[in-house]
A and B are shown apart, each in its own frame.
Chain A
Amino acid sequence: MTERNKPHPDAEVVERMERDLPAQSEAEAETRATYQRLIERVGELDLIEPAEGWEDRAMERWRRESGQRRTAKPPRRLPWRQLTAVAALAAAAALIVLVPRCREAEPRPLQVAIERTGPQSRQRAPAIGDTLRVEVHVDAPAVELRVYRDQELIARCPGEERCRRDGARLSLSLVMNRPGTYEAVRLSSDDALPAPGPTGRDVDVLTAREGGATVISEPAIRVR
Chain B
Amino acid sequence: MHSVAYRILKDKARAEDVMQETLLKAYETIGTLKDPKRLRAWLTTIAHRKSIDLVRADKRSRANHARAAQEPTAHAGAPVESLIAEETKRALEECLEAIPAEKRAAVLARFYAELEYLELAKATDENPDTVRIRVSRAMVDLRECLERKGIKP
Interface residues of A (CB under 8 A from B): 1, 3, 7-8, 10-12, 14-15, 18-19, 34-35, 37-39, 41-51, 54, 57-58, 61-62, 65, 199-200, 202-203, 205-206, 209-210, 215
Contact = CB atoms under 8 A, between A and B. Distances in A.
B89 A45 contact: yes
B74 interface: yes
Contacts of B117: 18
B135 A51 contact: no
- CB-based closest 7 A-B pairs: A14-B136, A38-B153, A42-B111, A15-B136, A11-B136, A48-B3, A8-B140
Given A34-B152, A42-B142, A57-B16, 14 more contacts: A1-B141, A3-B133, A11-B136, A35-B139, A38-B143, A41-B92, A42-B92, A45-B3, A45-B7, A49-B74, A62-B20, A62-B23, A202-B125, A203-B56
A61 B139 contact: no
Contacts of A62: 20, 23-24, 27
Contacts of B153: 34-35, 37-38, 41
Contacts of A199: 56-57
B12 interface: yes
B139 A48 contact: no
B41 interface: no
Q: Max chain A CB contacts within 10 Å: which of B16, B107, B124?
A: B16
Interface residues of B, number: 47
Contacts of A35: 139, 143, 153
A211 B89 CA distance: 39
Contacts of A10: 139-140, 143
A11 B20 contact: no
Contact of A18 (B53, B57, B136): B136
A189 B57 CA distance: 23
Interface of B: 2-3, 6-7, 12, 15-16, 19-20, 23-25, 27, 49, 53, 56-57, 74-75, 88-89, 92-93, 96, 107-108, 111-112, 114, 117, 124-125, 132-137, 139-144, 146, 152-153
A19 to B, nearest CB: 7
B134 A58 contact: no
B82 to A, nearest CB: 12
B74 to A, nearest CB: 5
B57 A39 contact: no
A11 B140 contact: yes
A209 B25 CA distance: 13
A65 B3 contact: no
A15 B93 CA distance: 22
